[in-house]
């Protein structure tokens, strides 16, 4: 990281070392969480995120984990911190999307670091639990109400006086099908916070007092704001608009608008979603924190790579979202797919708008879906739940073609290794390949999507929450659109959002979209 020569009297090299060390706290938390987790979704797919916040709940650092987790935490943490009296030795859990969460499978665990009787900082991790108590396996149902999506956890102390509160955890486990796996994953989250607390305490102890530590954080945030302001000021002043659409909500509503208007004035950027669709019956609604995560991610892509991941980087960005809209839903509207699908389209809308300001820096649309596949069975004595997301093709840019078969934008997980999937669950992977030729044509072609086919060895319930099945990822500057995705059970075409039961020997094939091309084909 490059720092200015003089930052409030502190040596620039020391500030760079501080940035690396506080980021390393988050990275070590993530490593501990993956090592200790029981479920393939956390252990193998790495569906989790870790961050450090200051005493007021402002972002200090994060690992390079999952943007929708991290951006939504950064947006919501200040309100979470202000809403309760924090005590030493406690860790507070939550997943309520209307009280700082995203969707119910993402459970957040927050631990305050006390120095004496004063809070110096917070360590936080968020992990996706494949079973959070929904009736349908994988806890990503085709829902119309938040209560259908599983266990709703308002902020509550899971750990008190450094010990698990069994009355809290035990109450949750009675709602879950595999309590041993769930206990292991919650314990892994606790272990991750404990290692984060230890490493962060060692860093704080190197300063004369908490005030000195907070002074260093102020320098760090000041540098981030300075760097971000320079990047935003390079955008031409003006108003830029773009509207993109979700395919549907799985309940009959189609072509749901996400209308984005961006005003740039100097280093200040205001993003307004007036004109977006109202809340819908299906679960593509999302809380404001998820919308904010998409905006912050998209604008962060325009900033220098060395920009510190802290609150100061986003001080000059503001947001307006109509209440009771698709992007600022109210309880008890369902939100399971809002976190994973609508967040992706928010990014597409923001990038589509800002492309008019800096066309030389913005690529075509990527595959635009996390391609959610939730599987399992609750019909026998050995219930199981499985959840994964799939990648696709990236949009081509002004200088490069799109990458193939990768996750895009708001997610950053791995695929589940075939060996792990077949060892733990009654299925076989019969095809896993790049979907050749699915990227949009252009001077620079879009990336290709993925084909993944599963053959079931036992009756299996499935739920698919996928996008870009009706509307293709758009090309730019004369480039062609990427191929739309497809879902099939044997030879029968399935909707983008659907649920059902597959019988033994049936095959479920998920084919993800390609990315848009850039520039007219030669």
For 470-513, the pLDDT digits (tens) are 999 999 999 999 999 999 999 999 999 999 999 999 999 999 99
Quick check: 7 pLDDT over 80? Answer: no
By CB neighbour count within 10 A (0-12 exposed, 13-18 middle, 19+ buried), where does 436 fall? exposed
Give pLDDT, residue 305.
Answer: 86
What is the rounded CA–CA span in Å between residue 133 and residue 178? 10
What percentage of the chain has pLDDT greater than the value 70? 98
Quick check: 160 pLDDT over 90? Answer: yes
Q: Chain-wide mean pLDDT for the chain?
A: 95
What is the rounded CA–CA span in Å between residue 294 and residue 343? 6
Where do the structural domains in the chain lie, given as residue ranges?
12-223, 363-522
What is the rounded CA–CA span in Å between residue 345 and residue 358? 20
Give pLDDT, residue 485.
Answer: 98
The average pLDDT across 224-253 equals 96
pTM of structure: 0.95
Give pLDDT, residue 456.
Answer: 98
Quick check: 6 pLDDT over 50? Answer: no
Residue 10: CB atoms within 10 A of its CB come to 16
The average pLDDT across 320-328 equals 98
What percentage of the chain has pLDDT greater than the value 90? 90
The average pLDDT across 1-25 equals 68
Place of tokens 């943490």: 77
Alpha-carbon distances, residue 363 vs 422, 473, 478 (angstroms): 37, 11, 12
Q: How confident is the model at residue 11 (pLDDT cuts 50, 70, 90)?
A: low
Q: How confident is the model at residue 462 (pLDDT cuts 50, 70, 90)?
A: very high
- Cα-only R_g, the chain: 22
- 3-state per-residue secondary structure call for 388-451: ECCCECCCCCCCCCCCCCECCCCCCCCCCCHHHHHHHCCEEEEEEEEECCCCCCCCECCCCEEE
Give pLDDT, residue 362.
Answer: 96
Q: Name the CA dihedral angle for 136, 141, 143, 146, rounded to a multiple of 10 degrees.
A: 90
415 close to 407: Cβ distance less than 8 angstroms: no
Quick check: 286 pLDDT over 90? Answer: yes
For 108-135, the pLDDT digits (tens) are 999 999 999 999 999 999 999 999 999 9
For 60-90, the pLDDT digits (tens) are 999 888 888 888 888 999 999 999 999 999 9
* Sign of the Cα pseudo-torsion (512, 514, 515, 516, in order): negative
What is the rounded CA–CA span in Å between residue 8 and residue 15? 11
Give pLDDT, residue 8.
Answer: 44
CA angle 403, 405, 408 (to 5 degrees): 70
Quick check: 3 pLDDT over 50? Answer: no
Phi, psi dihedral angles at 127 (to 5 degrees): -135, 145
List the structure tokens of 18.
């501080």
What is the rounded CA–CA span in Å between residue 517 and residue 473? 9
What is the rounded CA–CA span in Å between residue 328 and residue 321? 6
For 168-223, the pLDDT digits (tens) are 999 999 999 999 999 999 999 999 999 999 999 999 999 999 999 999 999 999 99
The average pLDDT across 403-427 equals 94
Quick check: 51 pLDDT over 70? Answer: yes
The strand pairing partners of 519, in sequence order, are none
């Amino acid at each position: 990281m490059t720092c200015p020569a003089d930052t409030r009297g502190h040596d620039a090299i020391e500030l760079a070392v501080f940035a690396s060390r506080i980021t390393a706290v988050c990275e070590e938390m993530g490593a501990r969480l993956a090592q200790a987790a029981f479920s393939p979704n956390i252990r193998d797919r790495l569906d989790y995120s870790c961050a450090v916040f200051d005493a007021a709940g402002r972002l200090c650092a994060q690992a390079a984990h999952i943007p929708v987790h991290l951006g939504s935490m950064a947006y919501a943490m200040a309100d979470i911190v202000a809403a309760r009296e924090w005590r030493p030795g406690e860790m507070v859990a939550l997943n309520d999307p209307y009280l700082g969460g995203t969707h119910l499978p993402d459970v957040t665990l927050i631990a305050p670091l006390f120095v004496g009787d004063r809070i110096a900082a917070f360590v936080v991790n968020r992990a996706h639990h494949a079973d959070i108590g929904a009736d349908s396996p994988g806890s990503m149902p085709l829902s119309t109400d938040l209560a259908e999506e599983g266990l709703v956890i308002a902020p509550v102390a899971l750990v008190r006086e450094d010990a698990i509160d069994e009355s809290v955890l035990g109450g949750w486990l009675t709602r879950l099908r595999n309590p041993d796996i769930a206990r292991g994953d919650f314990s892994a989250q606790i272990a991750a916070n404990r290692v984060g607390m230890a490493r962060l305490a060692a860093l704080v102890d190197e300063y004369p007092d908490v005030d000195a530590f907070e002074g260093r954080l102020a320098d760090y945030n000041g540098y981030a704001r300075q760097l971000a302001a320079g990047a935003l000021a390079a955008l031409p002043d003006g108003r830029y608009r773009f509207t993109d659409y979700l395919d549907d909500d799985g309940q009959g509503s189609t072509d749901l608008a996400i209308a984005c208007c961006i005003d740039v004035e100097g280093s200040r950027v205001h993003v307004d979603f007036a004109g977006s669709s109202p809340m819908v019956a299906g679960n593509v609604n999302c809380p404001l924190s998820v919308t904010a995560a998409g905006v912050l991610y998209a604008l962060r892509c325009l900033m220098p790579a060395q920009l510190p991941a802290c609150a100061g980087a986003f001080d000059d960005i503001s947001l307006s979202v109509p209440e009771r809209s698709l992007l600022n839903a109210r309880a008890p509207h369902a939100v399971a797919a809002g976190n994973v699908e609508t967040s992706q389209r928010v990014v597409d809308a923001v990038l589509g708008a800002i492309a008019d300001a800096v066309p030389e820096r913005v690529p075509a649309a990527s595959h635009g879906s996390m391609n959610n596949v939730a599987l399992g069975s609750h019909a026998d004595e050995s219930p199981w739940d499985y959840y994964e997301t799939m990648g696709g093709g990236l949009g081509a840019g002004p200088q490069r073609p799109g990458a193939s078969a990768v996750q895009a934008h708001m997610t950053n997980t791995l695929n589940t290794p075939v060996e792990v999937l077949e060892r733990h669950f009654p299925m076989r992977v019969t095809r896993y390949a790049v979907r050749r030729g699915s990227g949009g044509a252009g001077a620079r072609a879009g990336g290709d999507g993925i084909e993944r086919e599963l053959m079931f060895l036992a009756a299996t319930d499935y739920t698919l929450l996928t996008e870009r099945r009706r509307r293709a990822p758009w090309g730019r500057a004369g480039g062609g659109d990427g191929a739309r995705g497809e879902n099939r059970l044997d030879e029968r075409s399935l909707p983008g959002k659907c649920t059902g039961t597959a019988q033994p020997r049936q095959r479920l094939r998920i084919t993800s979209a390609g990315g848009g091309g850039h520039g007219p084909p030669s």
